[in-house]
Structure 1
Amino acid sequence: MQKKFNFLGLLQFIFMIAAAFVVGFILNFAQTHDLIFTKQIVFQTNVNTYILTVIILFLIYLGLYGLFNRFFVSSAIYFVFFAIYAVADYLKVKYRSEPILPSDLSMLKNIKGLLSMVTPKIITVVVIFLIILVVIFGLLEKFVGKKMLHFNHITRLIFIALAAISIGSFYTASDNNSMTYKVLAKAGYTNYASNINQSANSNGPMLTFLGNMYVDVMDKPNGYSKEKMASIVKKYQKTAKQINRKRSNNDLSKQTLIFVLSESFSDPSRVPNIKLNQDPIPNIRNIKQNTTSGLMMSSGYGGGTANMEYMTLTGLALNQFSDSLQSPYTQVVNKQEDPINIANSFKTSSAIHPFHGNFYNRNSVYEKFGFKTFKNIDTTGSLKLKYTDVLPQMEYVSDQSAYKDTLEQVNSVNGGQFINLVTMQNHMPYTNNYTNNPYKVTGSGVSDSSRSQVENFSQSLNYTDNSTKEFLEELDKLDKPVTVVWYGDHLPGIYDGDDIYKYNVQEHQTDYFIYSNKYARKNGTGTTKLDDNTKVTDPNGFIPLALKQMDQKVTPYYALLTKVQEEVPAMAKNIDEGTNNLYVNEDGKSVDKLTKQQQKIVDDYKLVQYDLTAGKGYTKAVINK
């Protein structure tokens, strides 16, 4: 009897070890989407990191066993969890070209919203698979569970402790002097921080996830001190005076400024190896020709909306933060008191987002930013969205409805105000079937399986094109100065026929324009068209461009942003190995090296950004006054 018991226990541990190997392989495949590439990583080039992943997976399994002391219950939880993780990572890589990261966990507050971004077919298949899995392990626990190993309290605590230590030790993974860092380095773990997806391809998604549990906000720049920051403030106080001599308006709060983040908006005809049979955005193309406009360098592909929004509202650059910091909204703003942002320049400010308000912690972020109101699909009473219509065959609130709510907000205040609108109409997935969709896509930039998605996306853009034209026409009827900064945040992750590394710049360029209504242009509070340094910019360049468009005087901080926008190539977070910084000039070409003057401005910019986010805040009280 004793021998039989030991043999059964041995089989259990063999099964657990085998399961760890299989789950590790599946996670790597979910990350790479390529069976051959996965085999090469697991069995040839990255064996050590794979073995390390397997060890951690086994210890997690062991920890669950210690926690529940029921083999099949622990197994059910183990396989269900990693099945969901594998599917989530697979989908995020497919649509956003990056793995699941710790910063994504904040979005678990709204499971309903997350599921709305996944096709019903995928949800159905996954749910059926999980139900089958749970039923099988449930039956095994009922009929065989009593025969499995059961442990005393001390052994269970040891198992739980081993799992906790294996995960918790990664908290120091970024510390060069820590034991975890040394073990990871010995195993061949390489953190391609400037390209998080490449890091996950090489190390596996789980090690990459654990390795990013703790991140520094920003590396301390050379020369940072109270004295240095005081000299920078004086420098840009002088710069502000020089700029302000040529500008007429000195009270920004008297004007109305609207930032419109148009979800996933980008011209598909500009994507390499893509050709459309007709133009889906003739109105916006015409608007761009006749007002301040150009291309925006995005720091995301297929996602990263909140990061572009953060840069636009604060003027701070994502690429200058720590290499491993992935989400300022969830990893920076909530730790700050009165974070710097454009809303601070207005007596009245509001945000509108026709989706769930807790995505990317927007509820708390907007409160930190000082927004007086935030309307979203969860708000009620006086803050309830008035317009929530959706387009035929679509699931998100239409741009037309979002614009109507924005116009309501514009008209609700007599004086000036700031409004931040983040739309949802063109959010993934693009699997809807429009009736008689006129758009046809050819070219190798998209696979046959994704071609219909680009065609659906093009039809959605056409709806945006028409409603945006109508929105600006309504603003032109108002007897108050209104300026709109309108931009797409990133390309949708549907151009799977192009190599994103080969077309790095093109696949990170969206469209933008800055429009002042008739009243503003007539009364000297708005410009028709700026031409200097507008062809290519970045989200952190929108505040200085808007102030220039409005002929508005600047603070020392906005004087610094003006110098950055005018004299430094547009910047973005790079996906290429070796550097976190992608600089792109007016010709749309990447720049390998900045001039001495440009580097001086960037150095000042980094010092100020560090001081305002991770440093002592020496400049906070004076630089934006």
Structure 2
Amino acid sequence: MQKKNRALHIAQIIFIIFSAFLVGYLLDLSQTGSLSYAAKTVFQTNVSTYIVTSIILFLIYMGLYGLINRFFYSSAIFYIFFAIYGIANRLKVIYRAEPILPSDLALISNAKELLSMVTAKVVIVVVVAIIVVVAASVFLEMRFGKKLLRFKVIPRVIFVVLALISLGSFYTANREGSLTNKFLAKIGYSDFVVNINWSANTNGPMLTFLSNVHIDVMDEPSGYNEATMNKLVKKYQGVADDINQDRPNNDLKKQTLIFVLSESFADPKRVPNIKLNHEVAPNLQNIKKNNTSGLMMSSGYGGGTANMEYMTFTGLAYNLFSKSLTSPYTQLVTKQNHPINIANSFDTTAAIHPYDGNFYDRNTVYQKFGIQTFRNISTTGNLALKDVSTLPYSPYVSDQATYNDTLDQINQAKGGQFINVVTMQNHMPYLTKYANNQFKVSGKGAGKNLQQVKNYSKGINITDTSTQKFLNELDKINKPITIVWYGDHLPGIYDGNSMSKYDIVQHETDYFVYSNKYALEHGDATQKINDATQITDPNGFIPLALKQMKQKVTPYYALLTRVQEELPAMAKDSVGSNPNLYVDKNGKRVSSKDLTAKQKQLLKDYKLVQYDLTAGKDYSKSTINK
């Protein structure tokens, strides 16, 4: 390095470092849209993730420099690329409330359609800016390039390799125990699986993007191959034949099946160290007494709604996935093509959720599942919710309003259909102080949250009443309807109880399967199934519904039937290092080592099918659900 150019070369390096930190800040700004919020994020609350982002940007810059060995050209590419990335990220946040993700790269092939969604003004400004930057870089390189740093082969290779390593290391970011995963945890990377936009707001869009490049869906079971899967399909075709001998109905499309996820519904009287002065859900208890019902093992506490929803749709077990897959909706389904699920069995399908349709990527996920219409608070026109009324002082649409929209959807189709409903009334926080709240709560189980438990109790008491009214309306409809109704998880307000001590009971919610009067009178359903219903899991709802509806099953649903009937209920454990929580019909924890040989084989078959349909080669996909 010549002495007369040393200062210029130092200035180059300073400029590159400055550029990395500047672009890191601008990317945060593209995510939040607020100068003050972005400044607070990068300089106060999330300094570590901002520094890591800037280091990666620096290495990318140097990698480009090493590859091209021309300062102004590499600078132009760096700024143009991240300007386009930042603009695209901002537009996506505005219109879809989520950052750019690796799955979006598949849309590049549809560039023409994407550009049609952007205003002409934006396109013109971007194109003009690119032309100006390119022209300036060519002029500056020709005028001053010879005076700037030019590297020899070895440094250039090192710069490129370091850039690739910095990016490639994120391939294992979601693999628990990996160096990258541990490093991200150390610097305070926050993974908000409920809403990836929150992750990007906190960590910055680039780290969020890189951390979602690769997900380990599930470990490959031993013996997995095409021959094994063909044998399993034949095996469960035989099981299906046996089951179907006692099932008179063979056309599920003629019936209406409704899944209702009742947000955070779990009777507080079962929670240890909680006492109430009145029965909170008397109607529900009566419904459960006279219909197929029991307790559902939830894989969440205080959250995880979409994970339970995923299991009800597919019949697959969340606990059997790898630990790095924390949200099947956002990390798995969005990347699948036509995944097997209960909606596949119907010609008419709909979903209703009186909240943001983008939560857990439901807009995308429901399309992947084949849901034809999705009504949420953002939909308009014919897809707009007709009733968005709330309870006094509550921010959420009431259950009664959601039931009204469900009844409207039922009446829109002459024949059968599948409807998935996710309510919002009893979502946290439980700060709404209902008028005329008759409930008094005591006991150390709530910790400092006695008032919240009181508010929550009144909320589910209102749900109890509106649910009974809903079922009464179903009984007036002259077509067969069966509803699977369940709470997804307990509210996270029982701070006084130890989860390690009350692990099972604080993961038990209420469920029932109810068939309307018409279905019962016309042989389309039975009223109450008594076997293997005391405790189940969300992946057991499809076989329970089909049994209640006297419907013949496919090999896939035959497998799910045997799993529901013969295996303990399963959930992902939130206590200890073992991710699998198995619970028998008496509510007792069961170790996988205690399973019989027949149960172990059934569990192995289940794992093989789940792997094949989610992480494997889809050997069975075309035949197992026919």
Calculate the TM-score normalised by the size of structure 2.
0.72
Structure 2 CA distance for aligned equivalents of residues 184 and 473 of structure 1: 51
Change in CA separation of 1:510 and 1:455 when aligned onto 2, cut-off 3 Å: same
**Offset of residue 215 of structure 1:** 2.2
Structure 2 CA distance for aligned equivalents of residues 565 and 417 of structure 1: 24
Q: How many residues align?
A: 490
Deviation by residue 1:146-189 (Cα, 9 ceiling, x = unmatched): xxxxxxx99xxx9999999768634335679xxx9468889998
Q: Unmatched 5+ residue regions in structure 1?
A: 1-59, 87-104, 115-152, 190-195, 197-204
3-state DSSP of counterpart to 2:446: coil
Deviation by residue 1:165-218 (Cα, 9 ceiling, x = unmatched): 768634335679xxx9468889998xxxxxx9xxxxxxxx99x99988742111
Show the counterpart of 1:428. Answer: 428
Show the counterpart of 1:344. Answer: 344
Show the counterpart of 2:467. Answer: 468
Show the counterpart of 2:387. Answer: 387
Structure 1 CA distance for aligned equivalents of residues 517 and 391 of structure 2: 30
**Offset of residue 515 of structure 1:** 0.2
Show the counterpart of 1:612. Answer: 613
Matches within 5 A, 1:38-437: 63-64=20-21, 77=38, 79-81=40-42, 169-173=169-173, 181=178, 214-437=214-437
**Offset of residue 281 of structure 1:** 0.6
Specify the code of the residue in structure 1 equivalent to 2:21.
Answer: L
Structure 2 CA distance for aligned equivalents of residues 438 and 246 of structure 1: 48
Q: Is the 8 A contact 2:25 2:39 kept in 1?
A: no
Specify the code of the residue in structure 2 equivalent to 1:597.
Answer: K
Q: Unmatched 5+ residue regions in structure 2?
A: 1-16, 27-33, 48-88, 99-147, 150-157, 187-192, 194-201
Specify the code of the residue in structure 2 equivalent to 1:64.
Answer: F
**Offset of residue 518 of structure 1:** 0.8
Structure 2 CA distance for aligned equivalents of residues 220 and 516 of structure 1: 39
**Offset of residue 436 of structure 1:** 3.1
Specify the code of the residue in structure 2 equivalent to 1:556.
Answer: P
Show the counterpart of 1:515. Answer: 514
Structure 2 CA distance for aligned equivalents of residues 565 and 493 of structure 1: 28
Change in CA separation of 1:68 and 1:559 when aligned onto 2, cut-off 3 Å: closer
Show the counterpart of 1:57. Answer: none
Q: Is the 8 A contact 1:62 1:159 kept in 2?
A: no
Structure 1 CA distance for aligned equivalents of residues 94 and 486 of structure 2: 26
Structure 2 CA distance for aligned equivalents of residues 338 and 182 of structure 1: 34
3-state DSSP of counterpart to 1:445: helix
Specify the code of the residue in structure 1 equivalent to 2:372.
Answer: K
**Offset of residue 393 of structure 1:** 1.4
Show the counterpart of 2:499. Answer: 500
Show the counterpart of 2:565. Answer: 566
3-state DSSP of counterpart to 1:419: strand
Q: Is the 8 A contact 1:63 1:162 kept in 2?
A: no
3-state DSSP of counterpart to 1:502: coil
**Offset of residue 599 of structure 1:** 1.0
Specify the code of the residue in structure 1 equivalent to 2:586.
Answer: D
**Offset of residue 531 of structure 1:** 0.6
Q: Is the 8 A contact 1:374 1:383 kept in 2?
A: yes
**Offset of residue 66 of structure 1:** 7.9
Specify the code of the residue in structure 1 equivalent to 2:443.
Answer: G
Structure 2 CA distance for aligned equivalents of residues 482 and 435 of structure 1: 35
Structure 2 CA distance for aligned equivalents of residues 348 and 188 of structure 1: 44
Alignment pair present for 1:552 and 2:551: yes
Structure 2 CA distance for aligned equivalents of residues 409 and 549 of structure 1: 22
Show the counterpart of 1:35. Answer: none
Structure 2 CA distance for aligned equivalents of residues 290 and 76 of structure 1: 54
3-state DSSP of counterpart to 2:445: coil
Deviation by residue 1:282-333 (Cα, 9 ceiling, x = unmatched): 1001101110000000011111111100000110110111121001111111
**Offset of residue 440 of structure 1:** 1.4
3-state DSSP of counterpart to 1:352: strand
3-state DSSP of counterpart to 1:308: helix
**Offset of residue 358 of structure 1:** 1.1
3-state DSSP of counterpart to 2:444: coil
3-state DSSP of counterpart to 1:460: helix
Matches within 5 A, 1:593-612: 593=592, 594-612=595-613
**Offset of residue 376 of structure 1:** 0.8
Change in CA separation of 1:110 and 1:447 when aligned onto 2, cut-off 3 Å: farther
Matches within 5 A, 1:454-465: 454-465=453-464
**Offset of residue 451 of structure 1:** 1.2
3-state DSSP of counterpart to 1:612: helix
Change in CA separation of 1:435 and 1:561 when aligned onto 2, cut-off 3 Å: same
Specify the code of the residue in structure 1 equivalent to 2:242.
Answer: Q
**Offset of residue 574 of structure 1:** 1.3
Specify the code of the residue in structure 1 equivalent to 2:241.
Answer: K
Change in CA separation of 1:369 and 1:564 when aligned onto 2, cut-off 3 Å: same
Specify the code of the residue in structure 1 equivalent to 2:462.
Answer: Y
Deviation by residue 1:356-392 (Cα, 9 ceiling, x = unmatched): 1111111111111111111111111111111111001
Change in CA separation of 1:587 and 1:64 when aligned onto 2, cut-off 3 Å: same
Calculate the TM-score normalised by the size of structure 1.
0.72
Change in CA separation of 1:436 and 1:82 when aligned onto 2, cut-off 3 Å: farther
Structure 1 CA distance for aligned equivalents of residues 184 and 308 of structure 2: 35
Q: Is the 8 A contact 2:175 2:216 kept in 1?
A: no
3-state DSSP of counterpart to 2:438: coil
Specify the code of the residue in structure 2 equivalent to 1:460.
Answer: G
Deviation by residue 1:454-483 (Cα, 9 ceiling, x = unmatched): 110001001100000000000011111100
Alignment pair present for 1:624 and 2:604: no
Q: Is the 8 A contact 2:175 2:324 kept in 1?
A: no
Structure 2 CA distance for aligned equivalents of residues 411 and 248 of structure 1: 26
Q: RMSD in angstroms over aligned alpha carbons? A: 3.7
Show the counterpart of 1:581. Answer: 580
